[in-house]
Structure 1
Amino acid sequence: MKNIFFIFCCFAALGLYAQTPFQKYGKLQLKGTQLCSSKQVPIQLKGMSTHGLQWHGWGSFLGEKNLDVLAYQWQADILRIAMYYDEGGYKTNPKKFTKMLDQVVEETHKRGMYSIIDWHILKPGDPWNRIDEAKKFFAYMSKKHSSKGTVLYEICNEPNGKGVDWPRIKSYAEQIIPIIRKNDPDGIILIGTPAWASLGISEGKVATDIISNGLNQKNSHNVMFSFHFYAASHKDLYRKEFKKFLGKIPLFITEWGSQEASGEGRNDWQSVMEWHKILNEYKISWCNWNYSSGHRSSAVWKSNVSINGPFDDSQLKESGLKVKELIRAK
């Protein structure tokens, strides 16, 4: 019995002191189009995106208990923090939301996970409409958090709308990237692609000019491009067009869901598996939408789960159970 107890304690200790993602990978970098560890080893980060902080932020849903679950039980590598500007978000109270975002970044860092600071533009979809605010926001965030080594910057979530093509997004990025680089010379920067981060596919205008008319060398260092998909809506055509960009530009799936593009409706697990075959083969990192207890099927926790939990599997929706499994499949 003593030997069994000793072995149990050893395993418990190993679990307690398991390496965090940041301890394993260190400061992230690009090697060609591949996201790599500090030792230039190709990696694939897997994690979650929050819902909008104005609805499910720190103290309303996010808290120490469910971040512990995400970090230690789910073994997530990364948390994307969705800071909506409009829709009741940042612009209503910049001081409040700056403080909240700082806290979520700090709590994520304490648990050894990476975080994406997501400037979540959606309505309006032209990032130039919020250029002055974005400059101030990323100047502050990059200065505040660059020393951590765990922070990535998503400078425009889902550019969309008439005239919001790659040249317009590129010109915006050329304004924001140098501001971040003053404080964080090597942090990973993510740029949303045309038509709701679909590489233009959702508007039938595949944005291959991202390849032919890319950022100049000065602005392209450690810069990746965001792609979003919702498996029940985005199937073979999207996968076919997406493959044209593989190996051509650095890609990061900063948002995906198993449902329809609205974040609602049925889960299409067959389509999810087809997507993840590609992501796993090419070691493309991803965040699932979303880590909350919202009413939509894309929220992984049941709608009656509060900040106090409980946070066991019985409280997960179908999407939550499956996404947890995908994250833990290292």
Structure 2
Amino acid sequence: MKKVLGLGIIGIVLVSIIVMVFTFMNSSSVSKLSIAEVEGQKVLVDEKGEVVQLRGMSAHGLQWYSSILNENAFAAFKNDWNANVVRLPLYIGENGYAKNPEAMMEKMIKGIDLAIANDLYVIVDWHVHYPGDPNHEDYAGAMDFFKEISSLYPNHPNIIYEVANEPSERGDGVTNDREGWLKVKTYAEPIIKMLRDHGNENLVLVGSPSWSQRPDLAADDPIDDSNTAYTLHFYSGSHSDGHVMNNAKYALENGVAVFVSEFGTSESNGHNGPYIEESDEWLDFLDEHHVSWVNWSASNKYESSAVLMPDTNMDPGEDQVWSDEEITEAGHYIRDRLLGK
């Protein structure tokens, strides 16, 4: 076995034991997820075969906003916001994992453990952003990364693997067509095979061309795996003309599961809005079709898509509640939707 993040095989074994003990002591009550056809549509179901819709929050890039990784914040999202899933975006570039693998892996493991301790599903997001081709040499560590995480948390029911965030045309990326999808598919298949060969039955999410707006392309040529869903990303202020929603409808009508692993109430640049009416239309559609959704972002970044006000402490304190004044307009909207208001 190769050394991973400077650890030899003994170190990896010791870390695995520590993680497994931690997991046992903080056992999760969540159910293992799978994909099944219910009333003619592929949806998520639990171990009893009952339909499950995940709804929750995505952190921002962990290299910038890792202070969200604290017990009080995760408890707040679980108990005060009624979320059942969190997403951990591991940027590879932009001073992320490729530059600081040990530090970024520590952050990812911390986030996973916090999610498990708070009975939250957790999306392990290999954040393909720039360049837009997941096969690019910058992302050469993907296989080793997913091997390590899956060995530390073997077949753990809380974990969802997102193997390619947003394939796109940026920086010698993938084209917005069938050829572009084939590049994404060729990248994802060996990772999924590795996970399955090692006994990991976890739900896998795969992005699609044009910033994960083309699950319709995946529906026409899906990956041969029964527990893979295809992500759809949208921002209400930029994707309300029906085109992206029609891509989702096509995918659902043509036999694949769709999972919205990232959406914002702003425009796609993170600014302006929140676009409440457009967001309502989108979330009503997703709820009607039992499509899971995760909001961007659980951060205090100075942009209208963030749910916390700039400079707000991302640790809400021992009461595990952010005050109304600490939550943005977008944050109040998302919290209300999570609470079913």
TM-score category by the smaller chain? Answer: 0.7 to 0.9
* 2:306 paired with 1:295: no
CA offsets, 1:154-197, max 9 Å, x none?
Answer: 00000011544111111001121112223343100000011100
SS at match of 1:109: helix
Residues 230, 144 of structure 1: alpha-carbon distance in 2 compared, 3 angstrom cutoff = same
Identity across matched positions, percent:
29
Counterpart residue number, 2:251? 245
Counterpart residue number, 1:86? 93
Counterpart residue number, 1:13? none
Q: Is the 8 A contact 1:131 1:172 kept in 2?
A: no
Q: CA deviation at 1:22?
A: 5.5
Residues 22, 46 of structure 1: alpha-carbon distance in 2 compared, 3 angstrom cutoff = farther
Counterpart residue number, 1:326? 337
Counterpart residue number, 1:141? 149
- Map of 1:1-330 to 2, 5 A cutoff? 23=29, 25-32=30-37, 33-57=42-66, 60-129=67-136, 130-161=138-169, 162-164=173-175, 165-199=180-214, 208-216=216-224, 220-235=225-240, 236-247=242-253, 248-309=255-316, 311-329=322-340
Q: Which amino acid aligns with 1:269?
A: I
Q: CA deviation at 1:115?
A: 0.1
Q: Which amino acid aligns with 2:74?
A: L
Return the TM-score normalized by structure 2: 0.83
Q: Which amino acid aligns with 2:110?
A: Q
SS at match of 1:128: coil
Q: Which amino acid aligns with 2:208?
A: T
Q: Is the 8 A contact 2:248 2:258 kept in 1?
A: no
Distance in 2 between residues matched to 1:184 and 1:262, nearest whole Å: 39
SS at match of 1:123: coil
Q: Which amino acid aligns with 1:237?
A: H
Residues 260, 322 of structure 1: alpha-carbon distance in 2 compared, 3 angstrom cutoff = same
Distance in 1 between residues matched to 2:301 and 2:199, nearest whole Å: 34
Q: Which amino acid aligns with 1:56?
A: Y
Q: Is the 8 A contact 1:109 1:148 kept in 2?
A: no
Residues paired across the two proteins, number: 298
Distance in 1 between residues matched to 2:162 and 2:282, nearest whole Å: 22
SS at match of 1:289: strand
Q: CA deviation at 1:42?
A: 0.8
Residues 147, 92 of structure 1: alpha-carbon distance in 2 compared, 3 angstrom cutoff = same
Distance in 1 between residues matched to 2:27 and 2:144, nearest whole Å: 30
Residues 40, 282 of structure 1: alpha-carbon distance in 2 compared, 3 angstrom cutoff = same
Distance in 1 between residues matched to 2:216 and 2:264, nearest whole Å: 24
Q: Is the 8 A contact 1:257 1:289 kept in 2?
A: yes
Distance in 2 between residues matched to 1:88 and 1:113, nearest whole Å: 28
Deviates more, 1:307-316 or 1:319-328: 307-316
Residues 22, 271 of structure 1: alpha-carbon distance in 2 compared, 3 angstrom cutoff = farther
Q: Is the 8 A contact 1:143 1:184 kept in 2?
A: no
Residues 127, 243 of structure 1: alpha-carbon distance in 2 compared, 3 angstrom cutoff = same
CA offsets, 1:209-259, max 9 Å, x none?
Answer: 42232223xxx1210001001001101232233222224210000000111
Q: Is the 8 A contact 1:186 1:221 kept in 2?
A: no
Q: Is the 8 A contact 2:216 2:247 kept in 1?
A: no
SS at match of 2:331: helix
Q: Which amino acid aligns with 1:320?
A: G
Q: Is the 8 A contact 1:21 1:113 kept in 2?
A: no
Q: CA deviation at 1:131?
A: 4.7
Residues 191, 308 of structure 1: alpha-carbon distance in 2 compared, 3 angstrom cutoff = closer
CA offsets, 1:127-161, max 9 Å, x none?
Answer: 00145300110110111123431000000000011
CA offsets, 1:29-71, max 9 Å, x none?
Answer: 11131101111111111100000000001xx343122111111
SS at match of 2:98: helix
Residues 271, 184 of structure 1: alpha-carbon distance in 2 compared, 3 angstrom cutoff = farther
Residues 240, 209 of structure 1: alpha-carbon distance in 2 compared, 3 angstrom cutoff = closer
Structure 2, unaligned stretches of length 5 or more?
A: 1-25
SS at match of 2:332: helix
Q: Is the 8 A contact 1:61 1:293 kept in 2?
A: no
